[in-house]
Amino acid sequence: MAKPKPARGRSELLIDQQARGPAWGRAAPIQAAGARPGARPRDGGDLLDLIGNTPLLRIRLPELPESVELWAKGEWFSPGGSVKDRAAKWIVLAAEAEGWLPSKRLLDASSGNTAIAYAMLGAARGFGVTVCLPANASRERKLLLAAYGAEVIETSALEGSDGAILEARRRHAERPDLYYYADQYNNPANPRAHYESTGPEIWEETQGRVTHFVAGLGTTGTFTGAGRRLRGLSPGIELIAVEPDSGFHAIEGLKHLPSAVVPGIYDPDLATRTVRVRTEDAYAMARRIARELGLLVGPSSGAAAWAAAEVGKRLRSGVVVTIFPDGGDRYLSTGLWEAKRPR
Ligand SMILES: Cc1ncc(COP(=O)(O)O)c(C=O)c1O
């Protein structure tokens, strides 16, 4: 049997395309970091540009009246995976401008997400990072810190974030020559990050329609900075702070202020009111958001959504905006996702 004439083969097509220039099937050359105008290799500039401008996501919950809109900033879209990229960026830029970095190691206490953001920026911009972290921080957080090459000092789980703060202060007092103590709980660059980025983003993305801003309190940087900016833009806006209902809680990232060291950056006059959330309600809401909306968020997002829904249910109309600080994949090992689907 005569051998069939080969059909015009794939390789011939590729050769044609290559002759014509970049097209499907031929990879365009990978651009070097320096190819973007103004970008310098290894200065971490590109990474900084990716922080912020997170999507504002519509959260549709059946318990909300139709004329009430609920929106959330999806902060896990940031390169370090959380809202704390914003604070870390502003803190690091201020420290670099003052000449503390990269000659010293950045030292701070963190419940984990700020630590990860510092570790990412330290790797990109060439400074060392030491973080004091409560031992009960999720395994994923610890592994991420190892991945970025940060030094981690674990502190008592029972003492929570306050224990980590005391350890960071002690280390800094011992070796001020070695460490720059970033002190996110008292550093004005933390709320400034949200005053300059989160607040204006919410204003622009809602075209100035936001009526209620709901945010969890950890260092309080998000609530204080974004809240202050939004109140300046719209004096009648309601600012609702969210905290755990007791000092013994498992909502990573949040603080029960009545039983904790109150951060120096907190402005007690800002909140119109405070909503207190039980750990089980925060977890159940995080699971609902994953299973009903397809958004994998962490427990503090569950707390924020639970509080926002409590606010929204009592309104006739309004535009409620909240913050979803991080993603649920940071909690795969914690048992958060193991509850059966409620049906
Ligand atoms: C998961 C999570 N949610 C909420 C917060 C609270 O944000 P802020 O420190 O800006 O109050 C943090 C802070 O670390 C966090 O890690």
Q: How does pLDDT run across 92-134, given as a tens digit for each residue? A: 999 999 999 999 999 999 989 999 999 999 999 999 999 999 9
Identity of the residue numbered 189? A
In this prediction, residue 42 carries a pLDDT of 53
Q: Which of 30-44, 57-71, 238-252 has the lowest mean pLDDT?
A: 30-44
Is residue 254 in contact with ligand 1, taking CB distance under 6 Å? Answer: yes
- CA dist 290 and 165 (Å) reads 33
Mean pLDDT throughout 311-336? 96
In this prediction, residue 339 carries a pLDDT of 73
In this prediction, residue 9 carries a pLDDT of 38
Q: Which of 112-121, 203-212, 309-318, 332-341 has the lowest mean pLDDT?
A: 332-341
Active-site amino acid positions: 84, 300
In this prediction, residue 46 carries a pLDDT of 87
Helix (H, G, I), strand (E, B) or coil at 123: helix
| CA 330 to ligand 1: nearest atom | 1
Give ∠ CA 148-153-155 in degrees, rounded to 5.
Answer: 135
At the top level of CATH, the class of 84-181 is: alpha beta
In this prediction, residue 14 carries a pLDDT of 36
pLDDT tens digits for range 171-217: 999 999 999 999 999 999 999 999 999 999 999 999 999 999 999 99
pLDDT tens digits for range 13-38: 333 333 333 344 444 444 443 344 44
Specify the pairing of strand 129-134 against strand 151-155: parallel
| CA 298 to ligand 1: nearest atom | 1
The reply to whether CATH 3.30.70.20 applies to domain 52-79+191-331 is: no
Measure 216 CA to ligand 1 centroid, in angstroms.
7
Measure 231 CA to ligand 1 centroid, in angstroms.
21
How far are the Cα atoms of 78, 105, 122, 212, 279 from residue 126, in angstroms, in the given order? Answer: 20, 10, 5, 40, 38
Query: Is the Cβ–Cβ distance between 328 and 79 less than 8 Å?
Result: no
Measure 341 CA to ligand 1 centroid, in angstroms.
27
Secondary structure string (H, E, C) spanning 263-316: CCCCCCCCCCEEEEECHHHHHHHHHHHHHHHCCCECHHHHHHHHHHHHHHHCCC
pLDDT tens digits for range 255-276: 999 999 899 999 999 999 999 9
By CB neighbour count within 10 A (0-12 exposed, 13-18 middle, 19+ buried), where does 309 fall?
Answer: buried
Measure 53 CA to ligand 1 centroid, in angstroms.
17
Which residue did the predictor score with more confidence, 21 or 55?
55
Mean pLDDT throughout 217-242? 98
Residue nearest to ligand 1 atom 1, measured at CA: 253
Measure 16 CA to ligand 1 centroid, in angstroms.
54
Is residue 54 in contact with ligand 1, taking CB distance under 6 Å? Answer: no
Give ∠ CA 241-246-250 in degrees, rounded to 5.
Answer: 90
User: Do 84-181 and 52-79+191-331 have the same topology in CATH?
Assistant: yes
Is residue 299 in contact with ligand 1, taking CB distance under 6 Å? Answer: no
In this prediction, residue 44 carries a pLDDT of 61
Does the pLDDT of residue 315 top 80, yes or no?
yes
Q: What is the mean pLDDT of the chain?
A: 89
Give ∠ CA 199-309-276 in degrees, rounded to 5.
Answer: 85
pLDDT tens digits for range 137-168: 989 999 999 999 999 999 999 888 889 999 99
In this prediction, residue 28 carries a pLDDT of 45
Is residue 326 in contact with ligand 1, taking CB distance under 6 Å? Answer: yes
Non-local (6+) Cβ contacts of 32 within 8 A are: 41
How far are the Cα atoms of 23, 48, 141, 244 from residue 145, in angstroms, in the given order? Answer: 40, 18, 6, 26
Does the pLDDT of residue 314 top 60, yes or no?
yes
Query: Is the Cβ–Cβ distance between 74 and 57 less than 8 Å?
Result: yes
* Most trustworthy range by pLDDT among 7-16, 73-82, 328-337: 73-82
- CA dist 301 and 208 (Å) reads 23
| CA 87 to ligand 1: nearest atom | 10
Looking at the chain, the whole-number percentage of residues with pLDDT higher than 70 is: 86
Is residue 134 in contact with ligand 1, taking CB distance under 6 Å? Answer: no
Residue nearest to ligand 1 atom 12, measured at CA: 253
- CA dist 75 and 269 (Å) reads 26
In this prediction, residue 111 carries a pLDDT of 86
Q: Which residue has the tokens 């933390």?
A: 190
| CA 301 to ligand 1: nearest atom | 3
Residue nearest to ligand 1 atom 14, measured at CA: 253
In this prediction, residue 43 carries a pLDDT of 61
Mean pLDDT throughout 235-245? 98
E strands along the chain, which residues? Answer: 56-58, 68-74, 105-109, 129-134, 151-155, 179-181, 212-216, 238-244, 273-277, 318-324
In this prediction, residue 45 carries a pLDDT of 67
For the chain, the structural domain boundaries read: 52-79+191-331, 84-181
Is residue 145 in contact with ligand 1, taking CB distance under 6 Å? Answer: no
Give the pLDDT band (50/70/90) at residue 340. low
Measure 57 CA to ligand 1 centroid, in angstroms.
19
Identity of the residue numbered 184? Q
What is the DSSP track for 3-34? PPPPPS-HHHHHHHHHHH-S-TTSPPPPPPGG
Identity of the residue numbered 239? L
Query: Is the Cβ–Cβ distance between 141 and 118 less than 8 Å?
Result: no
How many other C-beta atoms are found inside a 10 Å radius of the C-beta of residue 206?
A: 16
